Chain A
Amino acid sequence: MTGATAAADAAFIRCTRLTKVFRRGDTEIVPLRDLDLEIPRGAFVSLMGPSGSGKTTLLNLLAGLDGATRGELWIDGQELSRLSRDQLARWRAKSVGIIFQSYNLVPVLTAYENVELPLLLHDLSRRERHERTMAALETVSLVDRASHFPRQLSGGQEQRVAIARAIVADPPLLLADEPTGDLDRVSADLVLDLLGRLHRERGRTIVMVTHDPLAAARAPLKLHLDKGALESTRVDSVSMEGARTAAGEVAP
């Protein structure tokens, strides 16, 4: 792996021989096997693959929500497996925003309070929290829904609140697991527009799992996961805006 050091410096996310094994009694499920992957800073990557191919599993590893069985996972110069559960929580609070297919808003909290949640973990005054929360709601065009509870919002609006929550603390990395999976075309396009803007205008690194080819088409970088390995990688370098090409090496 000559020249790997240089690549590692440039890569925002780097997995080497990343493996995840689930054990259920005697059966072993290996959704990820010896995965090698590099994603540059500021990339917008779509991750596709058949059901059960390990997309969610990979995203959970990237988010530090689950630990790898083997291999290394570096994100922004931090090897995640060396962090304790508490350190991972702290790392998540400042480094990752997660967007789920089912929105996962806290039902008893208003849109505003849901968006404010990550800021409670930062040393900010109430005023600063308010400004940032309103700015995030502004970004997703839901300022007028701030005091609504999730059940009073449409699915598309809920997902936009979830996006506001993911970006409010300004994390460099956004992870989205089928963010448009439950949405109609119009709402889905709104969400995808948002993600595209966050990538283009704010330089966020985004990894988005999707089954929707139209959604995947929005991402300049497309990865295809199958049977625990990246089977194909297509790089649309035109829209990479000068970022090093890189991205996903096919596992041998």
Chain B
Amino acid sequence: MILLRTAALSLRMLARSRVRAALAVAGIAVAVFILCAERAVHSGIVEATAANERDTRLIVYRANRFCPFTSRLPERYADEVASIEGVKSAVPMQIVVSNCRASLDVVVFRGVRAADAARGIAARVRFVEGSLDAFLARGDGALVGSALAARRGLKPGDRLSAAGITVTVAGIVDADGPQDRNACFVQLPFLQAAAGGVQGGEVTQLEVEVADPAKLREVATLIDARFATDLAPTTTRPEKAFVARAAADLVAIAEFAGFLGVGALLAIFALVANAIVLSLEHRTRELAVLQSVGFPGKALAFGIVVESSALAFVGAVVGAGAASLVLGLGRFSLGAEGVLVEFRPSGVTAAASVALALAVGIAAGLIPAIAASRKAIVEGLRAA
């Protein structure tokens, strides 16, 4: 009972010290915001690049080419690949990006044949708005991934221009992978004509679905073996590995951002500890007075920890909330060499950040609390 009442008293006294509380909360909120942003980058990278045993997609690229501007494969490869044992489907795809380097606002055009759009693409996306028929009905029609649509505020009928290409939105599609969510699917002949520099009958890559995820690597080897002595030898990788290679810069940046996450945690610790230690410093006498009134040192220590946890908790909720809002509204994705990594808010990340901040808040308050409660009361009474 005494513990609870002391905790309530601590919170009341904290609430009365508004400036001090607000400053601490603001600092912690910023740190938690950074932490959440870093976690979003991290999970975006993981989502785009970490292989799992359910992956079935292979990307066939021109050997020793690393950018959609230079990779060229004959469109006819698709039919040959389709006949390879274990291959479910092969979609030849022309990729045109508005910016080949790392950028936050990349538009990736994916040119597909009408027949492939009807089978392969329609199977891996869900229509949010518009329809496949609307897409096929017009030459410059585009199916826009939900993330790109949200970022650019697109709806069916809108026009989208990038990389000198203008398309008309025929549908908005949602998908499980970040590549499709950020794609702008257009018809292959239209893209080949619009992009220029590309020979008819040539595409950037093949997207191959294998029947058995366990045979992913095996099929990749078969494909490369088939074209090893051809004019355009290939390198085939699982999609995640392909993205990891293409986005190697981003992965490196994300790894570096991991330090920011650790730094944010340390900052939370420092901010809470600072707020508590400073406030205790000029509350030495107050604590001694409370003890002279009969408050046990343990209860006061508990009150201090409650105070530090409250600061951390409120700061974390504000920071995580702001991060979720910014990431959710911005639908950020970082593109490089035609692949995309999304930074999406996640409830789990937000909750984990709040929990982490709370733990750090408790840890930061603990030592000052114990030290303050053990201080000789008569010393405290003499303090200014």
Please report A residues at the B interface, Cβ cutoff 8 Å: 60, 63, 65-66, 85-86, 89-90, 92-94, 98, 100, 104, 106-109, 113, 117-118, 120-121, 123, 165, 169
User: Is B227 on the interface with A (CB-CB < 8 A)?
Assistant: no
| B381 x A65 contact (CB < 8 A) | yes
- Smallest CB separation, B276 vs chain A (Å): 16
Selecting from B90-98, B111-119, B136-144, B294-302, the interface stretch reads: B294-302
Given the complex of chains A and B, what is the CA–CA distance between A118 and B376 in angstroms?
20
Within 8 Å of chain A (Cβ to Cβ): is B378?
yes
Pick the residue among B1, B13, B286 that contacts A123 (CB under 8 A).
B1
A63 to B288, CA, bound (A): 13
Known contacts: A86-B297, A92-B293, A108-B16. The answer to whether A60 contacts B378 by CB under 8 A is yes
CB-nearest residue of chain B relative to A110? B16
- Which B residues contact A (CB, under 8 angstroms)? 1-2, 5-6, 9, 12-13, 16-17, 285-286, 289-298, 376-378, 381
Contact B297 A85 (CB under 8 A): yes
With contacts A66-B376, A94-B294 known, what are 4 further pairs, Cβ within 8 A?
Answer: A85-B297, A108-B13, A108-B16, A117-B290
Which of A60, A92, A104, A106 interacts with B294 by CB under 8 Å?
A: A92
Chain A contacts for B285, CB-based, 8 A: 104
Instruction: Pick the contact of B381: A100, A108, A123 (CB < 8 A).
Output: A100
Tell me the nearest residue of chain A to B14, going by C-beta: A108
C-alpha spacing A117/B376, complex, angstroms: 21
Show 22 A/B contacts (Cβ-Cβ < 8 Å), sorted by A. A63-B292, A65-B381, A66-B376, A86-B297, A89-B297, A90-B294, A90-B296, A93-B295, A94-B294, A98-B293, A104-B285, A104-B381, A106-B290, A109-B12, A113-B12, A118-B293, A120-B2, A120-B5, A120-B6, A120-B9, A121-B2, A121-B5
* A-B residue pairs, 7 tightest by C-beta: A93-B294, A108-B16, A89-B296, A92-B294, A120-B5, A104-B289, A65-B377
**Residues of A with C-beta under 8 A to B291:** 65, 89
* Chain B residue with Cβ nearest A175: B292
| Residue in chain A with minimal CB distance to B13 | A108
CA A108 to CA B12, docked complex, whole Å: 9
Min CB gap A29→B, angstroms: 14
Assembled-state Cα–Cα distance A121/B378 (Å): 21
Give the shortest distance, in Å, between B295 (CB) and chain A (any CB). Answer: 7
Question: A109 to chain B: which residues have CB within 8 Å?
Answer: 12-13, 16
Min Cβ gap B21→A in Å is 11
Partner of A66, one of B5, B17, B378: B378
**CB nearest to A107 among chain B residues:** B286
User: DSSP majority for the B interface?
Assistant: helix
**Max chain B CB contacts within 10 Å: which of A66, A89, A109?**
A89
The answer to whether B294 and A118 have CB atoms under 8 Å apart is: yes
Q: Could you tell me the distance in whole angstroms from the C-beta of A125 to the nearest C-beta in chain B?
A: 12
Complex alpha-carbon distance, A60 and B294, angstroms: 14
Distance in Å: Cβ of B27 to nearest Cβ of chain A: 21
Closest A residue, CB atoms, query B16:
A108
**What separation, in Å, do the CA atoms of A95 and B376 have in the docked complex?**
20
User: A60-B378, A66-B377, A121-B2 known; A98 and B292 CB under 8 Å?
Assistant: yes
Please, which residues of chain A bring their CB within 8 A of the CB of B289? Answer: 100, 104, 106
B381 touches A121 (CB 8 A): no
CA A93 to CA B300, docked complex, whole Å: 14
CB-CB under 8 A for A65 and B292, given A89-B297, A108-B17: yes
**Least Cβ–Cβ distance between B81 and chain A, in angstroms:** 74
Kindly state the separation between the CA atoms of A117 and B294 in the bound complex, as whole angstroms.
9
Q: Tell me the smallest distance from the CB of A128 to a CB of chain B, in Å.
A: 14
- Tell me which residues across on chain A come within 8 A of B297, comparing CB atoms: 85-86, 89
- Using A86-B296, A86-B298, A90-B296 as known contacts, say yes or no to A106 and B381 having CB atoms under 8 A apart: no
Contact (Cβ within 8 A) B295 A106 = no
Kindly provide the distance from the CB of B283 to the nearest chain A CB, expressed in whole angstroms: 9
Can you name the residue of chain B whose Cβ is closest to the Cβ of A66?
B378
CA distance A85 to B298 in the complex (A): 10
Nearest CB of chain B from residue A132's CB, rounded to whole Å:
14
Q: What is the CA–CA distance of A113 and B381 in the complex, to the nearest angstrom?
A: 20
Alpha-carbon gap, A66 to B375, bound state (A)? 11
Is the pair A121, B17 in contact by a Cβ cutoff of 8 Å?
no
Known: A65-B377, A66-B377, A86-B298. A117 touches B17 (CB 8 A): no
User: A66-B376, A120-B6, A121-B2 are known contacts. Are A106 and B296 too (CB-CB below 8 A)?
Assistant: no
Chain A residues, CB < 8 A from B381 = 65, 100, 104
Q: In whole Å, how far is A93's beta carbon from the nearest beta carbon of chain B?
A: 3
Q: Which residues of A sit under 8 angstroms from B295, Cβ to Cβ?
A: 89, 93, 117, 121
CA distance A250 to B9 in the complex (A): 45
Cβ 8 A contact of A93, one of B1, B9, B293, B377: B293
User: How long is the Cα–Cα vector from A90 to B376 in the complex, in angstroms?
Assistant: 16
CB of B292 to closest CB in A, whole Å: 5
* CB nearest neighbor in B for A149: B16
B298 proximity list for chain A (CB < 8 A) = 86
What residues of chain B lie closer than 8 Å to A107, measured between beta carbons? 286
Contacts of A121 in B (CB 8 A): 2, 5, 293-295
The reply to whether B377 and A106 contact each other, CB–CB distance below 8 Å, is: no
The answer for the CA separation of A159 and B310 in the assembled complex, in Å, is: 33
Complex alpha-carbon distance, A108 and B286, angstroms = 10
Distance in Å: Cβ of B4 to nearest Cβ of chain A? 10
B9 neighbours in A (Cβ, 8 Å): 117, 120
Which residue from A63, A98, A106 sits with its C-beta under 8 Å from B13?
A106
Chain A residues in 8 Å Cβ range of B286: 106-107
Give the one of A60, A90, A92, A165 with max B CB within 10 A: A92
Closest to B17 in A: A108
Q: A165 and B294 in contact (CB under 8 A), knowing A65-B377, A106-B13, A120-B2?
A: no
